[in-house]
């Protein structure tokens, strides 16, 4: 997931960049309102974390202009402006949520996840890095490559993507994807992991699906280089 942080305070901005990166997001940090508006207008971000008091163009105006141009990227406003009138203005200009400084990072991460889940429901698409999965058509894309999936491949890839960055044990995968007993023979997992790797990772320098020896499998949450 690509997150744009628009914050001119160097201490807060660097903290947000580090914390969101640690949580598995690809982060672009911008300190100027006019620069932010130009980059945000491209629509290439999944979430915007937006301060209000910014140089050149304030956060409320950025929000209004994005919504006027039909940009529907979720926006989480973060600001020290804590009056009821400020909150109403922020939400009325098109923001999806409003968080008053100072805040706990765990709360910001929780609100970010909630906004991204809401977007997933609205679009019907799971996105991890440069990999997307259309839940209705059951078709995946890695960058511009279309990936067709069988029913079991889809179920396995969906489970990996919903748990991106986490190591999933073989038993967890069996329980959630196959849901029946293989009498101790779980080699079917290796077979289907191999199938998905051949479709998703082939041609890329760094794989998204990795084996964690003795523990299980993980789908990496960061964008990989081709």
* Mean pLDDT split into 10-residue runs, the chain, 226 residues: 92 94 89 95 87 94 91 90 84 90 91 82 77 86 88 90 86 79 72 93 88 91 51
pLDDT for the residue numbered 226: 41
Residue the block writes with tokens 């914050």: 7
Q: Where is 58: in which H helix or E strand?
A: none
pLDDT for the residue numbered 212: 92
What are the φ/ψ torsions at residue 123 (nearest 5 degrees)? -95, -25
pLDDT for the residue numbered 179: 59
202: exposed, middle or buried (C-beta count within 10 Å: 0-12, 13-18, 19+)? Answer: exposed
> Do 177 and 156 meet the contact criterion of CB atoms below 8 Å apart?
yes
pLDDT for the residue numbered 61: 95
Which of 133, 29, 51, 45 has the alpha carbon at shortest distance from 95?
51
Query: 207 — alpha (psi -120 to 50), left (phi > 0) or beta?
Result: beta
pLDDT for the residue numbered 71: 85
What whole-number distance in Å separates Cα of residue 2 and Cα of residue 130? 10
């Amino acid at each position: 997931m690509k997150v744009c942080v628009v914050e001119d305070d160097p201490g807060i901005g660097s903290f947000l960049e580090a914390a969101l990166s640690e949580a598995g997001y690809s982060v672009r940090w911008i300190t100027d309102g006019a620069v932010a508006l130009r980059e945000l207008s491209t629509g290439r971000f999944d979430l915007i974390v937006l301060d209000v008091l910014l140089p050149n163009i304030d956060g409320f105006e950025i929000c209004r202009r994005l919504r006027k141009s039909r940009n529907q990227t979720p926006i989480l406003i973060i600001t020290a402006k804590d009056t009821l009138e400020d909150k109403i203005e922020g939400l009325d200009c098109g923001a999806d949520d409003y968080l008053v400084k100072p805040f706990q990072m765990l709360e910001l991460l929780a609100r970010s996840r909630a906004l991204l889940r809401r977007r997933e429901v609205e679009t019907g698409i799971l996105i991890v890095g440069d990999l997307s999965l259309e839940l209705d058509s059951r078709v995946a894309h890695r960058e511009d490559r279309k990936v067709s999936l069988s029913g079991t491949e889809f179920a396995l890839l969906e489970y990996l993507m919903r748990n991106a960055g986490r190591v999933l044990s073989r038993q967890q995968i069996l329980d959630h994807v196959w849901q029946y007993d293989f009498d101790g023979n779980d080699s079917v997992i290796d077979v289907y992991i191999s199938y998905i790797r051949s479709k998703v990772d082939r041609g890329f320098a760094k794989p998204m699906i990795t084996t964690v020896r003795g523990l299980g499998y993980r789908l990496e949450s960061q964008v990989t280089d081709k």
